């Protein structure tokens, strides 16, 4: 079979797997020899804390990826070249050193990544080489799903209908890598193991203690476990104390699992009327939706999708700082909010229902700019993804496309009573409240003094009093959002 290039380089980024990896498959199909690289990009790493679960997750996943590539190649020493530096410089330099004609990578839609890829492409072109970017991270990208007017969708439900119709016409099968005999042995200079955390300036986290599965194997194990539960997803997904979600979000983020494999697991069951599969498939469509919003409306990365929402006067100064600190540290006095923030701070994970509750609380109870919360989640979530995180925050603040109306304000007590009725989730993350009864645990400040004494709890000492009153906060929010009211 004729190949287009003598040799090529696969640049792994958000696709840390060999199964159904578009860039890898394209390179193996088009090149006689294929090298593989991952760059710990110092531009991305520089602002991160020295202990970052995501960096450790990536590092552990690379160890498996390296081993898998070596196992796939006939000579056993193909493996992964791992570099530490600015990708913008490292990739063209490596391409030159290896003498490849083309670099293959999965397309990234984040503004910073687009700028980086453009710079890499230009440098490669000066040396007569090409950068080939391929769709891999989503099912449908950028302008693949458009309205009848040829415009990107800004409302989810019609987008999903169009997305499903397109999927029916253009299935997205997941494929195993072929031509793996073309995986080239690494030159001696690059035959090094994946660097440990210290070598790239980081320290170990509690990733192993939390038993967060890493790599392609970890993702497949989670998927196998979830497929048995998928049918119950609709009824279980909103309750943080029970095993409802797939827990695959971090694997989707770093591409240790293929989005096509997940869609192909859910889609046939959706067609058969499986409610759980349909709801979960809908969540995967939301992911594509927010990715195309970021690609088509890049201004959302820093400001509101709906510009009128940038007129809102958010709290500022020492009070805002104080309220934000209480929220970040889980000391708002609202147990469900505080337990959710404790989960995030201790594990890097937060249940999806609680992302809505905590986000809404920050914006609509504390009056703090949604961008502050977006930034905090970006720092702390293992599965942080710019488009999904931004979309979620704009949804709770009502500033985004197809967001909840500004006057819809989650009552944190009602949410707590509905989705953690027995207080099991709260007890897990706020053990000081464990002895409160099933009513009082949702709002300790409303408990009778005798009940507090019996629970060995002193408000303001063992657990904070509420930083705001729900009814007053709601009234203030309606006033605050008054600037965006449409004339009747």
Other Cβ atoms closer than 10 A to 228: 8
Asked whether the beta carbons of 173 and 264 are under 8 A apart, the reply is yes
Catalytic entry in 206, 264, 296, 352: 352
The string of DSSP letters for 297-349 reads -GGGGTS-SSGGGGG-----HHHHHHHHHHHHTT-SS-HHHHHHHHHHHHHS-
Q: How many beta carbons lie within 10 A of that of residue 319, not counting itself? A: 12
Task: Please report how the helices 87-98 and 111-126 are oriented relative to each other, as an axis angle in degrees rounded to 10.
Answer: 30
Q: Cα(36)–Cα(78) distance, rounded to whole angstroms?
A: 8
Neighbours of 484 (CB within 10 A): 17
CA dihedral 388, 386, 357, 313 (to 10 degrees): -120
In 335-445, alpha helices (H): 335-347, 352-364, 370-380, 386-396, 412-419, 424-429
Distance of CA 375 to the CA centre of its chain: 13
Does an H or E element contain 209, and which? none
Is 445 annotated in the active site?
Answer: no
Separation between Cα atoms, residue 313 and residue 476, nearest integer Å: 11
Is residue 43 annotated as a catalytic residue, yes or no? no
Q: 314, 411, 445, 451: which one is catalytic?
A: 314
Given a contact cutoff of 8 angstroms between Cβ atoms, the answer to whether 376 and 328 are in contact is yes
- 372 among known catalytic residues: no
Pairing relationship of beta strands 81-85 and 5-12 according to DSSP bridges: unpaired
Q: How far is CA 341 from the centre of its chain?
A: 17
SS3 215: helix
- Structural Rg of the chain based on CA atoms: 24
The single residue listed with the structure tokens 């392609």 is 216
Axis crossing angle, helix 352-364 with helix 412-419, rounded to the nearest 10: 170
Burial class (CB in 10 A: 0-12, 13-18, 19+), 306: middle
> Is 370 among the catalytic positions?
yes
Name every residue whose Cβ is closer than 8 Å to that of residue 439 and which is 6 or more positions away in sequence. Answer: none
**For residues 306 and 338, what is the distance between their CA atoms, to the nearest angstrom?**
30
φ/ψ (deg, to 5) at 281: -60, -40
Residue 51 bridge partners (DSSP) = 203
Task: Exactly one of 280, 372, 393, 395 is catalytic; name it.
Answer: 393
Active site residue 163: no
Q: Does residue 451 carry a catalytic annotation?
A: no
**Rounded Cα distance, 368 and 335, in Å:** 19
**Which of the residues 142, 144, 283, 451 is marked catalytic?**
283
Catalytic residue among 11, 163, 327, 370: 370
Q: Tell me 407's DSSP state.
A: T
- Give catalytic residue positions: 283, 286, 314, 352, 370, 393
């Amino acid at each position: 079979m004729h190949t287009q290039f003598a040799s090529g380089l696969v640049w792994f980024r958000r696709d840390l797997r060999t199964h159904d990896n578009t860039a890898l498959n394209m390179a193996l199909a088009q090149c006689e020899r294929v090298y593989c690289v991952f760059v710990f990009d110092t531009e991305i790493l520089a602002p991160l804390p020295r202990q970052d679960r995501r960096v450790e997750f990536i590092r552990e996943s690379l160890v498996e990826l390296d081993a898998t590539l070596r196992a796939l190649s006939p000579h056993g020493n193909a493996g992964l070249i791992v570099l530490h530096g600015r990708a913008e410089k490292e990739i063209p330099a490596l391409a030159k050193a290896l003498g490849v004609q083309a670099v293959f990578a999965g397309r990234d839609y984040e503004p910073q990544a687009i700028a980086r890829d453009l710079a890499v492409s230009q440098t490669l072109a000066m040396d007569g080489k090409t950068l080939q970017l391929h769709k891999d991270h989503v099912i449908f990208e950028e302008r693949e799903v458009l309205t009848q007017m040829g415009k990107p969708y800004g409302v989810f439900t019609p987008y999903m209908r169009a997305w499903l119709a397109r999927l029916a016409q253009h299935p997205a099968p997941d494929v195993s890598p072929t031509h793996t005999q073309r995986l080239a042995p690494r030159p001696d200079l690059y035959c090094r193991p994946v660097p440990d955390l210290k070598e790239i300036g980081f320290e170990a986290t509690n990733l192993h203690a939390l038993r967060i599965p890493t790599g392609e194997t970890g993702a497949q194990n989670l998927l196998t476990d979830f497929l048995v539960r998928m049918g119950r997803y609709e009824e279980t997904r909103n309750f943080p104390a029970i095993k409802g979600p797939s827990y695959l979000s971090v694997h989707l983020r770093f591409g240790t699992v293929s989005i096509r494999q997940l869609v192909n697991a859910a889609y046939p069951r959706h067609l058969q009327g499986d409610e759980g599969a349909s709801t979960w498939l809908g969540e995967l469509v939301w992911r594509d939706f927010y990715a195309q919003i970021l690609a088509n409306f890049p201004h959302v990365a820093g400001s509101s999708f709906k510009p009128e929402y940038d007129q809102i006067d958010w709290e500022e100064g020492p009070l805002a700082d104080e309220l934000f600190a209480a929220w970040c540290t889980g000391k708002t006095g609202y147990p469900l909010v505080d337990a959710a923030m404790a989960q995030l701070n201790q594990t890097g994970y937060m249940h999806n229902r609680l992302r809505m509750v905590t986000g809404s609380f920050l914006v609509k109870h504390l009056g703090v700019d949604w961008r502050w919360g977006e930034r905090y989640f970006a720092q702390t979530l293992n599965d942080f993804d710019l488009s999904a995180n931004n979309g979620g925050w704009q949804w709770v603040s009502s500033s985004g496309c197809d967001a909840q109306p500004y006057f819809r304000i989650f009552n944190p007590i009602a949410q707590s009573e509905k989705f953690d009725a027995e207080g099991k989730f709260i007890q897990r993350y706020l053990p000081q409240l464990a002895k409160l009864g099933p009513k009082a645990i949702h709002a300790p400040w409303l408990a009778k003094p005798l009940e507090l004494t019996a629970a060995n709890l002193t408000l303001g000492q063992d657990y904070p009093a509420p930083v705001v009153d729900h009814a007053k906060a709601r009234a203030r929010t309606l006033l605050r959002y008054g600037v965006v009211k449409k004339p009747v």
